Structure 1
Amino acid sequence: MEQMTMIRDTFPVGPLGCNCTIIGDPITKKGMVIDPGGDADKILEYVQARGLEIVALIHTHAHLDHFLASGELKEKTGAPIYLHPDDKFLWDSLEMQCRMFGVPYTPVPDPDFWLKDDEQLCCCNGVAMHTPGHSPGSMSFWFEDQKLLIAGDTLFRRSVGRTDLWGGDHATIEKSIRTRLYTLDEEAVVVAGHGPSTTIGEEIRGNVVVRG
């Protein structure tokens, strides 16, 4: 029997245009929200239209533009919050981050679970990959069956995430991209944290910052 295609919606949210992605299993209707960076009502509209039960709120990292709807979504769905522990210091400074960027702060509870490298995600055979550099705890999420990578702010179309913020390091992000992301299927679609999607192969050959 042919495998049913995973449910996936990606759309910009919040004041900084973070790409939020909803992933869902078409059979069980279990789903997760990756990087709920604002506009909780908009996210919930997508969830309800797909008939999903959200069982996880997963973050690629803890910069303000990737969390702004997390508290409201946890309250409305009951889903736990996931983050890599190396970004806990950023999560603890979310109010300060909002103040620096002039964004209204809404309190967010602490993460419920800490993500680990190579951890299996709760649906659609996704795997968490620790890809530090943009932040110490930056994660990417790989769905091999679908040839889909959610890269957060690690890899962009023809660019990479900035490394001049708290805990960023250019040598580290370059290593993460070369040793983890560029080893994936070249046909895989890459959903970046902001802006248009790309593919692994396109970035190996055309990324002006980190070439394969």
Structure 2
Amino acid sequence: MTNQTDFIRATFPVGPLQCNCTIIGDKATGKAIVVDPGGNADIILAKLNELGLKVVALIHTHAHLDHFLASGELKKLTGAPIYLHEEDKFLWDNLEGQCRMFGVPYAPVPDPDYWLKDDEELPCGCGVALHTPGHTPGSMSFYFESHKLLIAGDTLFRRSIGRTDLWGGDFKTIEKSIRERLYVLDEEACVVTGHGPDTTIGEEIRENSIVRG
């Protein structure tokens, strides 16, 4: 378990669609996970080096193109395994088609090495994976309880929620995920969204006009 003083969190936008990539690291062990490496592998690697961390897992909140664009290169350069929820395999299998649809250059990405499961501990040993479907069938959020931090991917945004008009999206499902899995967390928890600024669970319970607490 990573203690408060050794816990590292760095979030920064990457790729053509400015996906928020987050590095979660442990100063004591020098190990880190990278969540949603959505492009700019060079920037991600430079940040890891700056922080003195070695990546041990590439973890994805879901399999839309803007959250994976650096995954193949990072795996090739670091050997870190790729993590994803299995219900998003159909999206992962069509990453090239997604890129073509949005006019984004495609770089081949290998199949995921590990299927994430609901309520399982993350490789860093300081957080847990939460299955929060709705934006996609396999959408995941990652909760670091002792650090009051939630990485929500494209499930929850500041005063908004993830779109449900893409492949496998469903409004009722994402609404249930937010109400039953996210709004029950510590209201002081900082929420790292898939794009744009951070928020908190409490703010969204009170201020989110789409899904109120």
User: TM range, normalised to the smaller chain?
Assistant: over 0.9
Q: Distance in 1 between matches of 2:44 and 2:186?
A: 29
Aligned length: 211
Structure 1 residue 23 corresponds to structure 2 residue 33: no
Please report the TM-score for the alignment, with normalisation by the length of structure 1.
0.98
**Partner-residue secondary structure (3-state), 1:125:** coil
Please give the TM-score of this superposition, normalised by the length of structure 2: 0.98
Please tell me whether residue 88 in structure 1 is matched to residue 89 in structure 2. Answer: yes
Could you say what secondary structure the match of 2:124 adopts?
Answer: coil
Deviation at 1:5, TM superposition (A): 4.3
**Structure 2 CA distance, aligned partners of 1:208 and 1:16?**
25
2:105 is matched with which residue?
Answer: 104
What displacement does 1:61 show?
A: 0.1
User: Aligned equivalents of 1:43 and 1:165: distance in 2?
Assistant: 28
Alpha-carbon deviation of 1:134?
A: 0.1
What is the identity percentage for the equivalent residue pairs of Structure 1 and Structure 2? 76
Q: Give the CA deviation at 1:182.
A: 0.1
Maintained 8 Å contact 1:30/1:55: yes
Distance (Å, rounded) in 2 between the aligned partners of 1:53 and 1:201: 33
One-letter amino acid matched to 2:176: K
1:63-212 to 2 correspondences below 5 Å: 63-212=64-213
State the distance in 2 between where 1:72 and 1:3 align.
Answer: 31
Q: Which amino acid aligns with 2:132?
A: T
Query: Which deviations, in whole Å up to 9, do the C-alpha atoms of 1:24-63 show, x marking residues without a partner?
Result: 0111111010000000000000000011110000000000
Separation in 2, partners of 1:75, 1:147 = 32
Cα distance in structure 1, aligned partners of 2:181 and 2:187? 12
- Structure 1 spans left out of the alignment, 5+ residues: none
1:69-112 residue CA offsets vs partner (Å, 9 max, x unmatched): 00000011110000000000000000000000000000000000
